[in-house]
Amino acid sequence: MLTFCFVLSLSLLSEHYERPLEVAQVPQSELFIDEIAPHAKVIQERHNILPSIILGQAILESDWGQSQLAATYGNLFGIKAYGNTDKVNLGTSEFVDGKWIEIKADFRVYPNWQASMDDHALLFVNGVDWNPNLYQGVIQATTYQEAARALQAAGYATDPNYQEKIIGVIETYNLNKYD
């Protein structure tokens, strides 16, 4: 009987040690947010831009940092390049005359995501050559809904549903908790 108990206990021990160790997997979405949220808070302090808008746009525009533009070229926001600056020419979808088309466009290249976030903030602060106040509605917004409406009104993206998509991402991932 003692031998049987010993063999049984060895059997149970070997089953325990042969099982693969289960490691808790953190979702890619959570890792991405954790990586960029602290810098979004810094930008809020410097420029009064809601972190939820920064995070929502980064998620939507870069596919959680996985797009070629974000992963290889550091551009989280699909910021186009004009003039004499580091750039890469890539394909993109644009909504023109009521339909989606594929085009090639020059996009800014950044050394890292933080530099992309800083440039994105400066775009809102300084606007564009032809309208320095273009994104003032984003900066003046007190809610992410107002900021998303201001982005749509300013024409940040050609997608006619951009405002709803940004709001959807913010609400799905509770990004307004960073505001």
CA 40: distance to chain centroid? 11
Q: What are phi and psi of 56, to 5 degrees?
A: -60, -45
Q: Is residue 10 part of a domain?
A: no
Residue 135 binned pLDDT confidence (cut-offs 50, 70, 90) = very high
Does the global pTM surpass 0.75?
A: yes
pLDDT of residue 36: 98
pLDDT exceeds 70 at position 103: yes
Distance between CA atoms of residues 115 and 73, nearest Å: 11
Alpha helix stretches (DSSP H) within 19-158: 28-47, 51-62, 68-73, 113-126, 136-140, 144-154
Q: Is residue 96 part of a domain?
A: no
Q: With CA atoms as reference, report the closest residue to 77 among 130, 156, 4.
A: 156
Catalytically active residues, by annotation:
94, 119
Q: With CA atoms as reference, report the closest residue to 121 among 27, 42, 61, 13.
A: 42
Q: Is residue 174 part of a domain?
A: yes
What's the DSSP call for residue 157?
A: S
Distance between CA atoms of residues 165 and 14, nearest Å: 51
Q: With CA atoms as reference, report the closest residue to 51 among 154, 2, 124.
A: 124
Residue 26 binned pLDDT confidence (cut-offs 50, 70, 90) = low
Domain extent at residue 133: 35-80+112-178
CATH number (domain holding residue 128): 1.10.530.10
Domain count, the chain: 1
43-60 residue pLDDT tens: 999 999 999 999 999 999
